Each structure stands twice: as C-alpha cells, then as structure tokens.
Structure 1
C-alpha cells in the first residue's frame, strides 16, 4: 500500500504542473525507484502523457509528493506562499517588462517568463509540444 497524504488546497493543475516540470530530467524518477515507487511514477507519467488528468492521477502525485517530503524535507509542490504570488517559473524567467505567460497547448502546465525576440519557447516535458506565449492572466 502506498502511503499518501492528500494535499488539500492545492489545485490539481498546480500538482500537474509541478510533476510536468520534473519530467525534464530523471531525478524524481530515480528517487521514486529507489523508494519503491517506480511503478507508481511510471503510471503517473503515462497517465499525464495520455492526458488522463483525473482523481487517480492526483492520488499518485500526492503519493510522490509525500515520498519527496519524507526523503528530502520539501515536497514536490510549491509552497502556499510561493504559489500565492508566483504561478511558476520556466526557462528565461526574469523580473521587469516583457514578462509573458507560457501556456501548455494541452493546458497541463503553465508559468511565466520573459519572452525575447526570436526566443525558442520552452517545451512541455510531458507532451514535448512547445509552450505558447500570451499575456499574463488578469
């Protein structure tokens, strides 16, 4: 049985975005494997890549978050104070003018960063699709 604490007050979209950012390298997958949660990680990754964003995926992400908090002291999800004023950081993020909202074409992950002329957009780690730039949400 997988130990899991449901993280109340955190939107599923925030949980998915946090997991999506982890797909860019193998650190979380390696940690999950070394803690006996390799199959759970793989199932969550497959579900996300297939676009199955549902309560089962949320339960799996919460289990991965609990494992990360237990082994590293901080969880997978951003803290409440961090989330309140900062929806996510993607490559190229800078303060000042030029900030734009990067949006996943599948609406799985999002964040903000600086869009420079000619800059290649970051890619969604789950789908591989390039994120699109738009104005910061109201």
Structure 2
C-alpha cells in the first residue's frame, strides 16, 4: 500500500468503522432498555459487518474476530425475529464488539505507524 492508500484506509474507512462500533454499543443499550426494537440494531450490525468485510478484503486485510461477530449476529438475528433476544445475548454481543474493536484498533495502530514511517521515508528521499 502506498502512503495515499494508507491515509485513506486509516483516516476514513477504518475510523468510520470504529465509530460504528460505538454507535452499535449505544443501540445495544437502547434495545436492552426497551427504547428501540432489536430489528434496528440487527440491521445496523448486519450492514456494518458487510461494509467492514468489504473494506478489509479490498485491502487484503483480515480480522479473526469478524467470524465470531458474524456468528453472534446470526444468533441475534434469529432471536430478534422470534422476539426472544435477551439481555444476556445483548451482553455477549457487547463483549464481542469490544473484542472486535480492540483487534481493529491494533490493526489501525500498525497501519498508522507504517504510514508515519513511509511518509518520513518519502520526505527524506525528496530532500
């Protein structure tokens, strides 16, 4: 990846994905409190998983936690349709999103460090 691709990936795509993690936590809280229907959370989560998978695949990156998140999404989807989504499942989803976000943060840290190094090298090369 060149510096422009690294910038776009970290400053836009991955940053937005992390913000979506925070939004999903808010939605989990709203569902647990009975303020919104679980279908809204499930729609946002499903869309997020697909978007994240597309971004990572496009750049040849993977996160092991995405499989666990997708599996839990499918369980929550079924439970929501049946009207049986419990706070225990929501808590499990919250824990999984936290773990997944930690993995994404680590990947971002690695990419940002690589970006800084490559920009420094470009500056030195141009000098």
Question: Given the two structures, how large is their TM-score scaled by the length of structure 2?
Answer: 0.31
Q: Which has the higher helix share?
A: 2
Which of these two proteins has the greater Rg computed from alpha carbons? 2
Question: Given the two structures, how large is their TM-score scaled by the length of structure 1?
Answer: 0.29
Q: Which has the higher strand share?
A: 1
